[in-house]
A = this chain, B = another copy of it.
């Protein structure tokens, strides 16, 4: 069933201890769409400026299942740009710069032909914008949103208004604690469920993820990769969400068991993302790679 993602398509500059890359394709919606496309079709709603490189378009539309009709190009505007630097252990990073560009303008319009979208993911952007975009999908079966520390700090009221309209929220452990002041993933997620959504997924990076749902709790470790396989963690969270939502859309089910399986698909997707810079990790996925890695993950995480 149709899956759509709204969010940012941007130009990234990434410094890691081993290498630097400049001007690569990035943005929350781009990462999400690339990952989701590995499991099925995905529609993309985002805006870029006139400076958006042709090469980035080729990268993005090179993922056969990505529909980019909802990608608006604004010739007189600038594309969102982000630069970040990872520290030695690749777990922590600092933002070097953020150029909002089109993100300071009106959100992109949702194409009329996307109105039948059933599964909706609102990748990270201002919660008031996310809420506005959500209204473009009246036939949705499930709506999930990501957020970030900035909006928790400066737009909490908008965020809480958004939460009341969502089925699910996905955020990382630091954000969950910032939002609730509770330093425990399960307890924090439980408190967020009280704010409206039916479920909350807390991403814990190299420590996996937790799902707190009205029908139960699920927990998943990260794929047990060695550090020498981690090249660039950028987009791990967005591709986790992409794998998760694409599995849900493909299953066309929203029950607890489907969400639990979706955590594993998200984990496998993120494990590919971090093995190369930018979208290259997802691009490198071949037929059978995902099933092979899911099987490997099942073996490693099996409880007999």
Contacts and interface: CB of A to CB of B under 8 A. Distances in A.
A207 B207 contact: yes
B89 A184 contact: yes
Interface stretch (A59-67, A117-125, A222-230): A222-230
Interface stretch (A130-138, A238-246, A257-265): A257-265
Interface residues of A, number: 40
Given A184-B89, A208-B208, A264 B225 contact: no
A298 B224 CA distance: 19
B221 A208 contact: yes
Q: With a 10 A CB-CB cut-off, give which of A89, A185, A226 has the most chain B CB atoms.
A: A226
Interface string A87-123: 0110100000000000000000000000000000000
A303 interface: yes
A302 interface: yes
A204 B206 CA distance: 11
Contacts of A304: 257, 260-261, 264
A174 to B, nearest CB: 12
A224 B212 CA distance: 10
Contacts of A190: 226
B219 A224 contact: yes
A301 interface: yes
Nearest to A89: B183
Copies in the complex: 2
Q: With a 10 A CB-CB cut-off, give which of A264, A298, A303 has the most chain B CB atoms.
A: A303
A155 interface: no
A303 B220 contact: yes
Given A91-B183, A184-B206, A303 B264 contact: yes
B216 A219 contact: no
Nearest to A182: B227
A143 interface: no
A210 interface: yes
Interface string A186-218: 110010000000000000101110100000111
A260 B184 contact: no
A29 B227 CA distance: 33
9 contacts: A88-B183, A89-B184, A183-B227, A185-B206, A210-B221, A219-B222, A220-B301, A260-B303, A264-B304
Interface of A: 88-89, 91, 182-187, 190, 204, 206-208, 210, 216-222, 224-228, 230, 257, 260-261, 264, 297-304
